[in-house]
Amino acid sequence: MSPSPERRRELLATAAEVFAAQGYDATSVRRIADAAGMLAGSLYYHFDSKDSIVEEILRGFLDELWGRYDTVLAAGHEPRETMRALVTESFREIDRHGPAVAIYQKESKALAARERFAFLAASQRKFEQTWLTTLQEGVAAGAFRADLDIRLTYRFVRDTVWVAASWYRPGGRHSPEEIAREYLAMVLDGIAQPHHP
């Protein structure tokens, strides 16, 4: 539609930041336009609607994420390594597209109920499948404890990873790889001192 995809990308980045900071419903189109240095009406030259803006933000994020996830999964690692790679890619995604992830984390549940955002529900199902499979295979292979409640563990893992988007700031003290390592250490081996009485 618009002849300048760069301007589009700039506007999407601006919108994502505002959406992430204030919430989708609480953010007015005018607020985004202000941040972009234009009038509200002018945004409609670039986008069809407010909905289409979040949609594009979320699709962009999920497309990129699944590109990386699929590469990881196609590599056919053993479960522990698969988990490590998925978690690392997730934190990298937070590093690259923090606002988009924050929007996904906060708004996707409400948005997914609407037809336009059915892709969110689809992605979520695929996500769940991926993790459940990985965890099950890990248990089967003896890499993970045999007494794990797989669904519960999946939920904990999923939430902790994404919720990091709400506090992570790029360029801060920890690189995404460091955070991933720390997180995996906690989840895999626990925070308790092993042979403590």
Partner DNA sequence: CATGAATGAGGGTTCATTCAT
Partner DNA sequence: AATGAATGAACCCTCATTCAT
What does the binding site for DNA look like in residue numbers (CB under 7 A)?
2-4, 7, 27-31, 38-42, 44-46, 48-51
Exposure class string for 19-29: b at 16+ Cβ within 10 A, else e: bbeeebeebeb
Among 1, 76, 115, 152, binds a second copy (CB under 8 A): 152
What Cα–Cα distance (Å) separates residue 12 from each residue in 33, 35, 53?
11, 11, 7
Q: How far is the C-alpha of 103 from the C-alpha of 86, rounded, in Å?
A: 20
Among 10, 166, 170, 177, binds a second copy (CB under 8 A): 166
- Which CB sits closer to a second copy, 142 or 171? 142
Q: Which stretch binds a second copy (CB under 8 A): 11-19, 29-37, 50-58, 162-170?
A: 162-170
**Residues in contact with a second copy, shown as a per-residue x/- string from 22 to 61 under the rule CB under 8 A:** xx-xx-----------------------------------
User: Residue 117: which residues within 8 A CB-CB, separation 6 or more?
Assistant: 55, 58, 108, 111
- Which CB sits closer to a second copy, 118 or 188? 188
What Cα–Cα distance (Å) separates residue 84 from each residue in 131, 144, 147, 173?
12, 13, 21, 21
169 binds a second copy (CB under 8 A): no
Contacted entry of DNA, a second copy, none for residue 42, CB cut-off 5 to 8 Å set by kind = DNA
